[in-house]
Every structure is written in structure tokens, then in C-alpha cells.
Amino acid sequence: MTVFAHPEFDRHEHLSFGHDRETGLRAIIAIHNTDRGPALGGCRMFPYSTEEAAVRDVLRLSRGMTYKSALANLDLGGGKSVIIGSPQQHKTEALLEAMGRFVDQLGGLYVAAEDSGTSVSDLRVMRRRTEHVAGITQRIGFDGEPYDGDPSPATAYGTFVGVQAAVRYQLGRDDLEGLQVAIQGVGNVGYRLARHLRDAGARLWVHDVRDIQMERAVDELGAIPASAEEILYLPVDVLAPCALGAVLDDASIPRLRTRIVAGAANNQLARPRHDRMLWRRGILYAPDFAINAGGIIDISYERKPTEPAVVRRHIERIGDTLTELFDRSAKERLPTGLIAERLAEDRLKEAATAARG
């Protein structure tokens, strides 16, 4: 199968493959769309079972970044990169520097940020070989706390705002007291989301593949542990997927016992048609590329230092965006994910038209 015939290829502008013999680096960079600006997106490191799986992931993730930035009204395009390998076994400073050289070859069309399997410190190593990295500047964050570039706090807060908007729309509630929430994945983002929800009075069920992460949520937040087999299917008000994607599919959706799906994970739908499956079941889906935009919003202000309150207000507009999507979905009788994609496409067309004069 050629790239152009790949089911996840969606008019991507650029796809490049990088290999470094000395360090063993195997990486892919995908740029989906730059109509609104340079393609900013995370650099993910993951031990993909096949190269095809890596290509599929980078194509899907880069497209999601385009829509994420468009819905958040950022002057950024969508891109993503993946490094094939285990972060625990294969990550070295030399490999990260090689990745920096690979990013630099694109001359700023793609700007790398932190993602699953990489960290702010990793991006700083890449920075030795390229200036085209983001999310590494120390400053005061949106919440008034010292910020080292990690987008997790902003992503978690934006997701929390999105959960509030979904609960208000679907359940008619302005508070979260006693709300029952199942969180799949309590890493950097999921744990912070859980803390926001606990502080707002919600009851939590959690699962993480790493026992230490789940134990932390249980011990520190009073969450109830759940197994991998049951976390998606608990009878709760909100299901918050905050791990890797593609958890909503033909097998899982019929078994869901929730009113709302609102989480921070990227690419929660295994296929676009699963958006309609959720809609037909009456489950309100907060499109992932709309609800988890807090991190990219925060990073975008690194280029133009701004008062933390301004950044916070921008993140909080995620709730307004979701409410608009929910309203349009009801009015047009179409799934929320499709409505979100159409709104993002409209904004991309506007940017392309403006660029042509």
C-alpha cells in the first residue's frame, strides 16, 4: 500500500522518514496542514509492533493536531512525529540529538513538543540540534505556578473545563458533587484531571497499566481501583479516556454504561464511524481534539509571553467551544465529532482563502 492510498492519509502536506545508523533512530514526521501556521505537535516515542502501525498513528495524530489548533483559534497548523522504540530501553541522548537533526531538516515547517514517551528534558536535548522545539521555556504558567514547559497541567485543566461543559449540557448540572467518573489512564494528564474532579466533589474510579500510577490515585485522591477489563464499562456519569487511543470501537461502544465520554486521550475513536455509534446510543461525546487542547493553547503563548490570566481564559474557552458543538449537533442531528471536523475545516478554508489574498 502506498502512502497516498493509506486509509489515514488526508491530504497531508508532508511525510518524511528518518533513520540514523549510529544511534538506531527510526522516526516519522507528518505534517497535515499549515494553512494557519507552522505545524506544531508532540514527538511520541512508542514501541510500535510494525512500521505500518507507526505510520497510521502519525497520520491520525497530525490530522488531529490540525483540527485541535483550528478549533482553539490558534495560528498553528497540525503535525506530529513518532520515534519507533521503547522509551525505557532505547532512549538515549544521542538518539534524541539525532531526532533533533531530523526535525531541523524541515526548516521550521514542523515544531516538536512533548508527548507520550518523551519529556520536557528530552525536548531540551533535541534543542541542542534544532531550534524548532516548543514547550521548554520556564515561566509562570496559566495557574500562577512555576512552569517548566510541561503541557500536562494545561491539558488536564482544559479537559476538566470540558467535562464541566458536557455535564452541564447532558445532565443539566452546574456542579460535580457526587458525579461518578471512570478515568482510564492516570499518568501526567489523567492524574491531574482526577485531582480537579476530586476537588470538585466527584467520585472516581481509575485504572492505569502502571500499578504505581493507579496506587497514587487511590492513596492520594481516594479513587477506587478498577481492572483493565472493567474500567470502560462501569455504570458512571462520565467516562474519561486518558491513555492511548482507539478505545472506542465496535466491541466497546455497545457495552458502555455512561452518559458522557470526555477525556484527554488523542484519537479515542478507532474509526470515524464510531462517532455516529456513540451518537445513536445517546452518549454525548466531547471530541478529543476539542477537549484536550489546553496544552497546545498554553504552549502557543510561549512564542508571545502573556499574562497567565489571559492564557487561562483562552483555555477556559474550551467549554464554550464544546457547548457550541453540542448545540449544533442537536440542531443538525449529526454526531459531535463530525460537527467538530466541519467547524475546523471551515476555519482552515478561511485561513487558506486569506493567504491567497
pLDDT at 354 over 60: yes
- Percentage of residues in the chain having pLDDT higher than 70: 99
Q: Does position 146 have pLDDT exceeding 70, yes or no?
A: yes
pTM for the full model?
A: 0.94
Q: Is 80 a catalytic residue?
A: yes
Instruction: Give pLDDT, residue 234.
Output: 98
pLDDT single digits (tens) 209-244: 999 999 999 999 999 999 999 999 999 999 999 998
Question: Residue 23 is placed in which grid cell?
Answer: 544511534
Look at residue 303 and tell me whether its pLDDT is greater than 90: no
pLDDT single digits (tens) 194-206: 999 999 999 999 9
Domain map of the chain by residue range? 3-64+75-136, 146-338
Q: How far apart are CA 87 and CA 85, in angstroms?
A: 6
- Phi and psi for 31 in degrees, rounded to 5? -115, 120
Residue showing cell 531541523? 104
Of 73-87, 134-148, 154-168, 253-267, the one with minimum mean pLDDT is: 134-148
Structure confidence at residue 39 as a pLDDT band (50, 70, 90)? very high
Q: For residue 167, which of 268, 242, 295, 258 has the smallest C-alpha distance?
A: 258
- In this chain, the answer to whether the domains covering 3-64+75-136 and 146-338 adopt an identical fold is yes
- Identify residue 353 by its one-letter amino acid code: T
Q: Are 64 and 39 in contact (CB under 8 A)?
A: no
Ranking 2-6, 207-211, 296-300, 308-312 by mean pLDDT, the lowest is 2-6
Name the band, by pLDDT with cuts 50, 70 and 90, for residue 55. Answer: very high
pLDDT for 2: 78
Q: Which of 68, 80, 91, 349 is catalytic?
A: 80
Q: What is the pLDDT of residue 1?
A: 55
| Banded pLDDT at 357 (limits 50, 70, 90) | low
Superfamily (CATH H level) for 3-64+75-136:
Leucine Dehydrogenase, chain A, domain 1 (3.40.50.10860)
- CATH architecture observed for domain 146-338: 3-Layer(aba) Sandwich (3.40)
Task: Classify burial at 291, counting beta carbons within 10 Å of its beta carbon; exposed 0-12, middle 13-18, buried 19 or more.
Answer: buried
Distance CA 103, CA 256 (A): 41
